[in-house]
Structure 1
Amino acid sequence: MSSFQIEGGRRLSGSITPQGAKNEALQVICAVLLTSESITISNIPDILDVNNLISLLGDMGVDIKRENANTYTFKADKVNLDYLQTEDFYSKSASLRGSVMIVGPLVARFGKAIIPKPGGDKIGRRRLDTHFIGIQKLGAEFHYDPSAKRYEIEAKKLTGCYMLLDEASVTGTANILMAAVMAEGITTIYNAACEPYLQQLCKMLNAMGAKISGVGSNLLTIEGVTKLNGCQHRILPDMIEVGSFIGMAAMTASEITIKDVAYNELGIIPDSFRRLGIQLEQRGDDIFIPYQKNYTIESFIDGSIMTIADAPWPGLTPDLLSVFLVVAAKAKGSVLIHQKMFESRLFFVDKLIDMGAQIILCDPHRATVIGQGNHLHLRASTMSSPDIRAGIALLIAALCAEGTSTIHNIDQIDRGYQDIDIRLNALGANIKRI
């Protein structure tokens, strides 16, 4: 297991380009199973979760050709469904939560799928009900084998229908959508997720010959087709990386430029950082963050304490709340961070408290941060990354701290951030991979 040693207190400077979006990559790569024709996808991030999914598809019989560092061509013309019965498939797919999104494509094209209970971050319960209920409504039957800890899904025929999702789940919407594109008749999905990454999946499927309307809204209408074709698709920049770099620049009092961010797809993220008092400027499709000696948290118009909470798109993505929490510790003023979706995602704050941050964990979903401004002098610490997003928050804290910190279990960070140590060292950081 690898670790990072981080020398804190160094200012960063220069420019950095975000990787392709992890969350989009996991969706569109699963979609290649919907056709026997070639699909080329570019700007794929070279990170563990994505690489593991690509490897899993290769083991399933998908022909995969790496065109260059971030471009792959997939051809799923010889999918081996017998592989789904093997122990190798069970162990690989169980450790990768994104593998659940192979269910929709497999059921749509082959009429059956098998999936173990998926893994991923240890951030509390993450229900699959939305995925399964939606695909059931299209005509699939689910059976859970408790001894094998796997779901077996079969569908003799998928038929379009109306459904109202109980939550605007991004991966749930993606999974149902990929099943519905080849269902007979018309499917209407209300309360659908509408994140940019889901919009990207819709655009890719339409390029393959699907008939999806309402893209970008929470009401999707899908007219089923019998066959899908190949296409070319480019993945968006990762908005989570963009937000992480904004927070990192502010907390280390650095001046950096984030290149090619697809600014119009960032939604409320830039303004949410401005609420913490962080200055940032759009320059074309880049974001420039100037040097700031300090930054002050705004209050609401009536003078009440600022609250930053996650919400379905176009609200603030939950994947950035860990970054907002750590960055607020060095702001002037107080803020309530409300993580509504995952009940364990804020539990890493004890590590920040040990470093000197003033944070009150109110309950599993809420933390009050009392920002100390330039009076905050974080102490170096030895800690372990519990999940991807907490890991990047701890890395930001370590870059700001006095002395040398160590972060263990950085495989969690590598799951979501490509060569993060190399890229930050190019900006002036001193991060050693041990």
Structure 2
Amino acid sequence: MKKILIQGGQRLRGSVAVAGSTALALTAQIAALLASTGELKLANVADTMTVDTMNERLRKLDLAVTVNKATHQLIIQSQAKLTADDLTAITSAKVASLMIGPLLARTGRVRLNKDQVPDEIIADLRCLGADVSLNDEALAIKAGRLKGSHLKLADSNCLSTQSLIMAAVLADGITVIENAACDFEVIALANLLNKMGARVHGAGTKIVRVQGVTFLHGCDYEIAGDYLEATALMLAAAITNGDVIVENVHLQSVQGVINQLERMGCTVVVQQNGVRVLGTAVLLPADPQSLFPSTMYPELAILQLLANGKSSNAVMDQRLLDQLQKMQAGVQATAGELILNGPAKLSGIKVKAFDASSALTLTLAGLAASGLTIVENGAYLGDEFEALPAKLQSLGASLQLKDFKSA
């Protein structure tokens, strides 16, 4: 077990390049299941546990996977016929939700645990012609070739949008997804699928249209820079009143972050080699702005806590809230939202992470806190982010990732 030791109060300065997006790489790995011919050659692939784990899953499905970590390249050989269809052993709801469409489209059947994926995805698969039955606490989903339909998402959710797009690309006819998520991850997935021979239109808008095709093929595709890592580094610069240039950033993917930071009083300069963030001594309170990535709301809460006034955020996992309150965070949980009372004076203490997001949130809190913050289970950062502790160190953070026994 590893933990992160952070001595707060250091202003971050310098430049740092983000790795390829782990989230986009994961989606691309799963999209490879849709191809029945050729190779999917991915470039700029991050060296993270999430990517490694998905490679092993693909190998268990009899796909040949070649990894070159030195060059950050990944090659997945397609299979003319897939036979595996059991997702019950997968503990990640995100992975299961993304895999269900490709496997159903390619094999005509999928088996998964009850409540393993959101109900909305299951309901919309029914609209596409799938038959769903419950047997021994497991869902059995069967279909011939799925049929295009008009779907309206109750919640504009990135995961549901991606899952249904991948289910629809091999369906018969046109599928319309209304109230689709506009996240950069949806746009990137559509771009990849179209290079593989799909016909996806309108990604990045509220209405996505998918014209089904009979097969997809491999292609060459470069994974964009990790906008979640870029968001983390931009927030770290603002939290420490620093001056940081974040390189290898796709501007469209962080526009919501730029809007948020400017609204809170920071200066953001778009440069040829990246985005420069200059913090401010007096942060202004602001609720999450449009297009700010919802998956990073917990990390944004740390910046909001430092602002000179009250703001709100979405409800976070109670386990994380408990850890932040140990650091003297002024957070009140009300019905449906969090109230953040700033400016908070965070205090360093021993806290415990339970996943990559909580590890990152607590690390950012440690950068702002007085004294020493110890984040247990710090290795979770490596699940989603490549060498993030080292990158923060390069910017001047007093931070170490150590084995639990040696710290």
TM-score normalized with structure 1 length: 0.85
1:21-55 C-alpha deviation (Å, 9 max, x unpaired): 23322222111011132101122222222321221
Give the Cα–Cα distance (whole angstroms) in 1 for the partners of residues 132 and 375 of structure 2: 41
Give the Cα–Cα distance (whole angstroms) in 2 for the partners of residues 184 and 42 of structure 1: 31
Q: Aligned residue for 1:233?
A: 221
**Equivalent residue of 2:317, what SS?**
coil
> Which moved further from structure 2: 63-72 or 52-61?
63-72
> Which moved further from structure 2: 39-48 or 407-416?
407-416
1:351-402 C-alpha deviation (Å, 9 max, x unpaired): 3333233222234x32222222xxx543211111133323212101112223
- Following TM superposition, by how much is the alpha carbon of 1:79 offset from its aligned partner in structure 2, in angstroms? 6.1
Letter in 2 for 1:72: L
2:125 to 135, 146, 161: 135
2:135 to 145, 148, 151: 145
- Following TM superposition, by how much is the alpha carbon of 1:236 offset from its aligned partner in structure 2, in angstroms? 1.9
Q: Aligned residue for 1:301?
A: none
Q: Which runs of 5+ in 2 are unaligned?
A: none
Letter in 1 for 2:131: E
1:389 aligns with 2:357: yes
Q: Aligned residue for 1:97?
A: 94
- Following TM superposition, by how much is the alpha carbon of 1:74 offset from its aligned partner in structure 2, in angstroms? 0.5
Describe how 1:257-276 pairs up with structure 2 within 5 A.
257-276=245-264
Q: Aligned residue for 1:27?
A: 27
- Following TM superposition, by how much is the alpha carbon of 1:425 offset from its aligned partner in structure 2, in angstroms? 1.8
Is contact 1:263–1:285 with CA below 8 Å preserved after alignment?
Answer: no
1:308 aligns with 2:282: no
Give the Cα–Cα distance (whole angstroms) in 2 for the partners of residues 213 and 80 of structure 1: 27
Q: Aligned residue for 1:322?
A: 298
- Following TM superposition, by how much is the alpha carbon of 1:61 offset from its aligned partner in structure 2, in angstroms? 0.8
**Equivalent residue of 2:339, what SS?**
strand
**Equivalent residue of 1:433, what SS?**
strand
Q: Aligned residue for 2:312?
A: 336
- Following TM superposition, by how much is the alpha carbon of 1:95 offset from its aligned partner in structure 2, in angstroms? 4.2
Q: Aligned residue for 2:53?
A: 52
1:295 to 282, 285, 295: 282
Change (3 A) 1:358 1:189: closer
1:199 to 184, 187, 193: 187
Letter in 1 for 2:112: I
1:185-216 C-alpha deviation (Å, 9 max, x unpaired): 22222122221211111111111111222232
- Following TM superposition, by how much is the alpha carbon of 1:287 offset from its aligned partner in structure 2, in angstroms? 1.3
Change (3 A) 1:415 1:79: farther
* Superposition RMSD in Å: 2.3
Q: Aligned residue for 2:339?
A: 368
**Equivalent residue of 1:33, what SS?**
helix
Is contact 2:298–2:316 with CA below 8 Å preserved after alignment?
Answer: no
1:242-278 C-alpha deviation (Å, 9 max, x unpaired): 2211221122232211112111332322111222222
Q: Aligned residue for 1:214?
A: 202
Letter in 2 for 1:307: D
Give the Cα–Cα distance (whole angstroms) in 2 for the partners of residues 360 and 404 of structure 1: 24
TM-score normalized with structure 2 length: 0.90
Letter in 2 for 1:19: A
Q: Aligned residue for 1:351?
A: 323
Change (3 A) 1:315 1:53: same
Change (3 A) 1:90 1:13: same
1:405 to 370, 373, 379: 373
Change (3 A) 1:76 1:273: same
1:2-35 C-alpha deviation (Å, 9 max, x unpaired): 2222222333222111222233222221110111
Q: Percent identity?
A: 23
Is contact 2:105–2:146 with CA below 8 Å preserved after alignment?
Answer: yes
Q: Aligned residue for 1:122?
A: none
Aligned residues: 400
Give the Cα–Cα distance (whole angstroms) in 2 for the partners of residues 393 and 344 of structure 1: 11
Is contact 2:18–2:248 with CA below 8 Å preserved after alignment?
Answer: yes
Give the Cα–Cα distance (whole angstroms) in 2 for the partners of residues 165 and 354 of structure 1: 38
Change (3 A) 1:18 1:199: same
Give the Cα–Cα distance (whole angstroms) in 2 for the partners of residues 79 and 161 of structure 1: 26
**Equivalent residue of 1:297, what SS?**
coil
Q: Aligned residue for 2:64?
A: 63
Is contact 1:211–1:224 with CA below 8 Å preserved after alignment?
Answer: yes
Letter in 1 for 2:102: P
**Equivalent residue of 1:94, what SS?**
coil
Q: Which runs of 4+ in 1 moved over 4 A?
A: none
1:314-365 C-alpha deviation (Å, 9 max, x unpaired): 633211211221112222222122x1xxx543652333333233222234x3
**Equivalent residue of 1:397, what SS?**
helix
**Equivalent residue of 2:306, what SS?**
coil
1:110-129 C-alpha deviation (Å, 9 max, x unpaired): 2122234687xxxxxxx612
Is contact 1:346–1:366 with CA below 8 Å preserved after alignment?
Answer: no
Letter in 1 for 2:94: R
1:431 to 395, 400, 404: 400
- Following TM superposition, by how much is the alpha carbon of 1:90 offset from its aligned partner in structure 2, in angstroms? 4.1
Q: Aligned residue for 1:107?
A: 104
